[in-house]
Amino acid sequence: MAPEMGGRVAVVVGGSVAGLACAHAVAAAGWKAVVLEKAAGPAAGGGTGAGLGLDAQSMETLARWIPGWGLDAATLPLAVDLNRATDSETKAARTLTRDEGFDFRAAHWGELHRRLHEALPAAVTVHWGHQFLSFEVSDLDDGGGKRGGVVATARLLGTGETVEVAGDLLVAADGCTSSIRRRFLPDLKLRYSGYCAWRGVFDFTGKESSGIITGIRRAYPELGSCLYFDLAEKTHAVLYELPGNRLNWLWYINGPEPELTGSSVTMKVSDATLAGMQEDAERVWSPELARLIRETAEPFVNVIYDADPLPRLSWAGGSVALVGDAAHPTTPHGLRSTNMSVHDARVLGECLARWGQTPPPRALAEYEAARLPVVAAQVLHARRLGRLKQGLPVEDGDTGAFDAWAATAEDALQLRQRGMPYFGGAPTVDGGSL
């Protein structure tokens, strides 16, 4: 599959939120985009994935790409960032920090993915069921002479056939275990955080007046507008409401690194492991949260990794750009992963637009200069925030750890999301920051 004559083409590897966001961004810059994704088709919406928080800058960017985004219908406000300490013996709780005016929105991953896919412009082609295999830097001939480019090879999962896709730029949006990043940084290893997360989404459609929902709303009275963090001894849980009668929860548990198979950082567990987790939840958390966890269908384990900041985001002489989790594997604390992906895509598109028909290296150099300082600072802060909330030493050699019950009001300020670098907005190109 060769690029059309006379048009710049970006080959985007990965069709998750980061990849589709990049497709929107490069199309807005006047490029064509070809997305290669191994999944058989787009997310259906409500039943796929889990919750996420979108900052104001991401919402503004997404509104550009998705006409009729329908902010109120598609998301719920997260106006309050609330950290509480829980005593597992008495189940008593006390507020550590309450930050109003948080200005995030809660969305469902599957719904965001569906909307991004449905709004793709005509300049974007998505090839589902295409497993990326490799790429080579090459010369392309568009009839006006040679220019640098890339050729990606993919396997059609339905038939086993291999195909080649040529373009001017390769965008690596293939996740935290990125095979494209591994080509340039073969010695870079994901860094295990020291804990895993149980995750689940509880659908209470038709159960709005049930005992479990009335109980959880009594224990968490601001659901629908609040991001709750409950800290117990060397563990913490997160709870917030999603559109469509759903509650999203996470529970982080310290422990040795599990053995993973394949490239996924999520795990299916045995019935015995699930039952043990549910019993532990009753010991650690309030009866209302423990019941919610117990009655959630098919919770799963997410092994939490990040990586030290990369030295570069642009490779192969400006022919390859890394975006999303491929560019900055991060822990979920600070709600940064999806937001960083959207911001990466926006800035990449702005840089391509600014440089027009100039070959990609200059645009990618500007993209890297804009994004690398931001994502490096945010990855390291998210790492620190997670270790604080898990009661783990923040730095190697530390002898103490954060104790939620002993913390002073000043100590507790470290827990706020507002401490994230660039919390008020990351630099962009069209905003005149560069």
Indicate whether 145 pLDDT > 80. Answer: no
Q: What integer pLDDT is reported at residue 45 of this predicted model?
A: 58
Query: For 43-90, what is each residue's pLDDT tens digit?
Result: 765 555 689 999 999 999 999 999 888 877 889 999 999 999 999 999
Indicate whether 430 pLDDT > 80. Answer: no
Q: What integer pLDDT is reported at residue 314 of this predicted model?
A: 97
Q: What integer pLDDT is reported at residue 85 of this predicted model?
A: 97
Q: What integer pLDDT is reported at residue 1 of this predicted model?
A: 46
400 falls in which pLDDT band (50, 70, 90)? confident
Q: What is the average pLDDT across 295-312?
A: 95
Q: What is the average pLDDT across 94-120?
A: 95
Return the biggest CA–CA distance within the chain. 75
Percentages helix, strand, coil for the chain (3-state, rounded to 5) are 30, 30, 40
Q: Which domains are seen in the chain, by residue range?
A: 9-63+112-189+309-419 (3.50.50.60), 80-108+190-306 (3.30.9.60)
Indicate whether 157 pLDDT > 50. Answer: yes
Indicate whether 397 pLDDT > 90. Answer: no
Indicate whether 431 pLDDT > 70. Answer: no
Helix (H, G, I), strand (E, B) or coil at 270: coil
Query: For 306-338, what is each residue's pLDDT tens digit?
Result: 999 999 999 999 999 999 999 999 999 999 999
Dihedral sign of CA atoms 392, 395, 398, 401 in order: negative
Q: What integer pLDDT is reported at residue 140 of this predicted model?
A: 57
Look up residue 178 and give its two tokens: 């990125």
Q: How far apart are CA 310 and CA 322, in angstroms?
A: 10
Burial of 230 (0-12, 13-18, 19+ CB in 10 A): buried
Residue 321, phi then psi, degrees to nearest 5: -120, 135
Indicate whether 2 pLDDT > 70. Answer: no
DSSP 8-state code for residue 316: G
Does the predicted TM-score (pTM) go above 0.85? Answer: yes
Looking at the chain, the whole-number percentage of residues with pLDDT higher than 70 is: 93
